[in-house]
Structure 1
């Protein structure tokens, strides 16, 4: 089976999205790019994650040609592939309609960095990409225009995209963004949250990426 390990990683990320409450039913999608071959493993359209087997994950090239698999790929495939072609550092993409972050997508408001937790994995203010129909090249172009150093973009009137060096990091960004969006939402109900300075955002991100956790000798 082609890219079996990556297929399993994609499935496991989808299951964890469900466990963290970031998706409902068959909403959202997950993909990962294999750095060696350049091929992409993406979830099939309209199938629940708990029922997926590795053979259900579709393997495509960067232009959407199916290389392995019999399922129809996600309806957001075009956007995923546009991002992979444009930004080489990204090898994992996750799309959700997570509740709190999506509130700001609906309001067409950026989510500022008001906590070190958001700075850690998300890495910067999350902007809103202008509206584009689902699955359109227009949507992908708007997303790419808004990707800087942060690991997430809101989709106007729709939901959230998060990215990472691999599927695992895209998942962490999705989880931590929703948590930060919830805190920001609640803080706004009782006061005016203060954004962190760019210096503090960078400091928190560097600490998390290079010091936090266990390191191999």
Structure 2
């Protein structure tokens, strides 16, 4: 992305933010979304509800979080900036308050490797970042730690966050972690899920690379 793409990026963010709301990944004014735009970041505004956000509402900041132009950025700006700094390849970040993720995050435990698609996130589980108050630098640090070698994580007593090398990829992982969280809750009701081994996850990733499987 370059600064010349800003109108297009704003349109993409608007569509993606509405998608999150329509699919139950955000409720009311919860959750936030951002994308790189050249050397700048475009992020959803503070207190914004998905269905009502227009392209011009997204707030532009520099890499240090200073607003470029008007508007007040999301209270979770620190978290987004920390991920962009820690992962230079990241192009978008999506933070959700989806129901199954919130339920599991309240237990402060990772989603274990009950399904092979857990392997698509980079490891054998989806970690849970330690709790810290929303909007704080401490929460941002906790999230970056939990995202080591991972595409997404839960946030203890809070929600979930995902990043990607494109906005579409970040949305895919944000939605996938909610689907897996819901399926894990169902599996726990049926009994004790059998977890895949590290070797089985490596086998999955090898197969996914061969077949170009997302």
User: Per the alignment, do residues 13 and 209 of structure 1 end up closer, same or farther by CA in structure 2, a change over 3 Å counting?
Assistant: farther
TM-score by length of 2: 0.90
Output the CA distance in 1 between the equivalents of 2:213 and 2:146: 30
Contact 2:46 2:74 in 1 (8 A): yes
Output the CA distance in 2 between the equivalents of 1:97 and 1:193: 25
Contact 1:118 1:176 in 2 (8 A): no
1:11 matched to 2:14? The reply is: yes
* Superposed CA offset, 1:26-48 (max 9, x none): 110001113xx221110011122
CA shift, 1:177, in A, is: 0.8
* Superposed CA offset, 1:54-85 (max 9, x none): 111111111111124x2211010011111111
Q: Which residue of 1 aligns with 2:122?
A: 123
User: For residues 160-199 of structure 1, what are the structure 2 equivalents within 5 Å?
Assistant: 160-199=160-199
Output the CA distance in 2 between the equivalents of 1:7 and 1:201: 37
SS in structure 1 of the partner of residue 132 of structure 2 = coil
Contact 2:101 2:181 in 1 (8 A): yes
1:26 matched to 2:25? The reply is: no
Structure 1 vs Structure 2 CA RMSD: 2.0
User: For residues 85-104 of structure 1, what are the structure 2 equivalents within 5 Å?
Assistant: 85-104=85-104
Contact 2:65 2:78 in 1 (8 A): yes
Q: Which residue of 2 aligns with 1:52?
A: 53
Q: How many residues align?
A: 210
Q: Which residue of 1 aligns with 2:62?
A: 61
CA shift, 1:209, in A, is: 5.7
Q: In structure 1, list runs of 5 or more residues that go unmatched.
A: none
SS in structure 2 of the partner of residue 67 of structure 1 = coil
Output the CA distance in 2 between the equivalents of 1:12 and 1:177: 20
Output the CA distance in 2 between the equivalents of 1:117 and 1:87: 22
Q: In structure 2, list runs of 5 or more residues that go unmatched.
A: none
Contact 2:20 2:50 in 1 (8 A): no
User: Per the alignment, do residues 131 and 206 of structure 1 end up closer, same or farther by CA in structure 2, a change over 3 Å counting?
Assistant: same
TM-score by length of 1: 0.89
Output the CA distance in 2 between the equivalents of 1:213 and 1:107: 31
Output the CA distance in 1 between the equivalents of 2:140 and 2:20: 22
1:137 matched to 2:140? The reply is: no
Contact 2:96 2:160 in 1 (8 A): yes
Output the CA distance in 1 between the equivalents of 2:197 and 2:136: 35
